[in-house]
Structure 1
């Protein structure tokens, strides 16, 4: 392991630490994809990790698996304790995915593996690389296909500080303590979400559909803007919501795309607080027609044509109640039994939407159901707030440990 001491490029670590370039931190390996036309290569018991499947820091499984024959003919194998990270893909535009293998896996060409040398803990190495995410993302280049590509020569030249192995493991243990606490809170939040969903579902089931349809209860149902080359953002860029932004019961605004707007777009397609958005189609039948409510954060955005915007007379139908009902088991069963599929994509149209069952519920009863939901959501949101705060504290503390500014105190 080639090392230096003291400072380089404005960074320094304690004198007893080693300065190590990522190129010298271990053995680098490139992955690959076995031929998909050879059935003998696929369907085995070895997870094949790709950019799309690397979603957890502790890498254990993948939706696609290869046989050992396949791994040896087109891919690469690494054992437990290898650091895997993404070097090509759309995700590189916003995040640097990295993790540590928990078992033997194969991996694709969108990934690189770094098998650490003796004296470097794999988790310490992964944490030290992950803390460099802002620097790494600035290295990402865009290919002609629009995906991100990471120059591994530049990446491997980055340096990390490496303390003695005992200190590395103390830092890993301190980070794991944060992860355990965060994991406990996440499990509580998930349990409360499940209980809330069950409670609201029970309230909705008690209403029945009353033989009425959504079309008789809504004021309007409008699809959004049809995209095309002429909509590439130029002089009048405007944010718009896509299918990916509309989740079941909430809107994800972490990645809002832009389009070129015209003077006629805002009167027709601008979203208002209380608008209800319904997804037109999805490859997963369980996700057909998933519905979310537009809030203050989304007000003023536009929306694409694969979403329906519903509006109601709020003296008769509360938008929150409409969202809850359209996400209910009764309506999901209706979609699954009637929706059409084309090339693996299940879709609904405006007529099918209008014919969906909808209960006639007194406004006061709607308010009670909505308030039950709001109370539960506030409790879950409070837990997510605690988790976010703990994540911020964790990041600062671990960065201090990795820089040597703070030492782990054993108790």
Structure 2
């Protein structure tokens, strides 16, 4: 019989083995008719794939009434496990979570309630540990969506210890989850704090003082095209030396993180050259908010602006392009299927900017917040990696 690699020292012995169908109760959901207004705008969250973006499920964009529940849906009691069994996102991940309160769920979701032999939180953590196995069971519906066969899931084998050991494992992993939640909340608060400080600083509602305590001079005002430029050298990968190449997919959304690079020698199309500390901004689908400030020389897609400060430093520019004001300018787009930010629109807008010394203070202040945000993000990644390792070792 199998035993886990990692186990609390007060427990020993073999684990029981059984199929899920013998240890759990499964239910299918539904969606009440949208034609009947009496079924909607109630107090019961209707969980769908779109609602399952978190492991703790308690709310949805759509709520139904008691009548709507009775006529077309199903109730998952508090502490039920919900798992998506149909939807395009199944090809990337398996959305599943635990209901923090009674919720309804639609036809793309299954609810699972544990029987007496299984602690519900222990079972949920076990289910998370099996995500790769479940992922391999996803098949195509033929219309672009993925699906999971309920009978295959119910036939999964689970090894489980006595209830007392299950409870201890569940309590321990719950504490790990709480730590991750706390770090995530801290990350969100820091991100919101930075947004608020940017609004105050770029609107001049909050001003720094000079080192001697005096006020800085009034901000200058000019067309953006005179303050910074998007001009860069063209690069032909067929004849130039190899350089790191950044494509749009290498820029994360809203964080400034460079996710990777490729070699320019493997590219066929013309690229833009960027120097160390230039600011990159993705002009294609600007609402994705992709930007970065590389610490190396390289080339990038022509769908990325290479921005260089003229009257402002690149460090200040990097912070400015994250502001609401710049986002509003880039939202004035050309094209419908492939919307792009329009440089002529941006360049012809007027912006205010401070003197060099105040630029430095603003950039350094916001960069310090960025560093705190990055540190917390790194802690979250480490905690999640540690948790993943625990799941692999504590479950068979």
TM-score, normalised to structure 1, is: 0.73
- How many angstroms does 1:297 deviate by? 10
The equivalent residue for 2:223 is: 213
The answer as to whether partners of 2:227 and 2:310 remain within 8 angstroms in 1 is no
Aligned match for 2:390, one of 387, 391, 397: 397
Equivalent residue of 1:73, what SS? helix
The answer as to whether partners of 2:219 and 2:355 remain within 8 angstroms in 1 is no
Map 1:78-227 → 2, pairs under 5 A: 78-206=76-204, 210-220=220-230
The answer as to whether partners of 1:331 and 1:357 remain within 8 angstroms in 2 is no
Aligned match for 1:241, one of 241, 248, 261: 248
Equivalent residue of 1:109, what SS? coil
Alignment pair present for 1:312 and 2:318: no
Q: Which moved more, 1:378-387 or 1:172-181?
A: 378-387
- How many angstroms does 1:382 deviate by? 1.7
Equivalent residue of 2:27, what SS? strand
Alignment pair present for 1:384 and 2:384: no
Deviations along 1:206-237, whole A, 9 cap, x unmatched? 38874423233343389xxxxxxxxxxxxxxx
CA radius of gyration, larger in: 2
In 2, the alpha carbon distance for the partners of 1:194 and 1:31 equals 37
The answer as to whether partners of 1:124 and 1:168 remain within 8 angstroms in 2 is yes
The answer as to whether partners of 1:58 and 1:101 remain within 8 angstroms in 2 is yes
In 1, the alpha carbon distance for the partners of 2:114 and 2:188 equals 35
Aligned match for 2:256, one of 250, 253, 265: 250
The answer as to whether partners of 1:276 and 1:319 remain within 8 angstroms in 2 is no
The answer as to whether partners of 2:223 and 2:347 remain within 8 angstroms in 1 is yes
TM-score, normalised to structure 2, is: 0.75
The answer as to whether partners of 1:279 and 1:289 remain within 8 angstroms in 2 is no
Residues 75 and 303 from structure 1, CA distance in 2 versus in 1: closer, same or farther, beyond 3 angstroms? Answer: farther
Residues 136 and 161 from structure 1, CA distance in 2 versus in 1: closer, same or farther, beyond 3 angstroms? Answer: same
The equivalent residue for 1:406 is: none
In 1, the alpha carbon distance for the partners of 2:159 and 2:101 equals 27
- How many angstroms does 1:326 deviate by? 3.3
Equivalent residue of 2:352, what SS? coil
Aligned residues: 359
- How many angstroms does 1:175 deviate by? 0.8
The equivalent residue for 2:19 is: 21
RMSD, aligned CA: 3.9
Alignment pair present for 1:292 and 2:291: yes
Equivalent residue of 2:90, what SS? helix
The answer as to whether partners of 1:83 and 1:115 remain within 8 angstroms in 2 is yes
Can you give the 5+ residue segments of structure 1 that lack an aligned partner in the other structure? 1-5, 223-237, 283-287, 404-411
The equivalent residue for 1:373 is: 366
The answer as to whether partners of 1:290 and 1:326 remain within 8 angstroms in 2 is no
Can you give the 5+ residue segments of structure 2 that lack an aligned partner in the other structure? 4-10, 208-217, 233-244
The answer as to whether partners of 1:281 and 1:347 remain within 8 angstroms in 2 is yes
The equivalent residue for 1:63 is: 61
The answer as to whether partners of 1:56 and 1:99 remain within 8 angstroms in 2 is yes
Q: Which moved more, 1:366-375 or 1:288-297?
A: 288-297
The equivalent residue for 1:34 is: 32
Residues 241 and 271 from structure 1, CA distance in 2 versus in 1: closer, same or farther, beyond 3 angstroms? Answer: farther
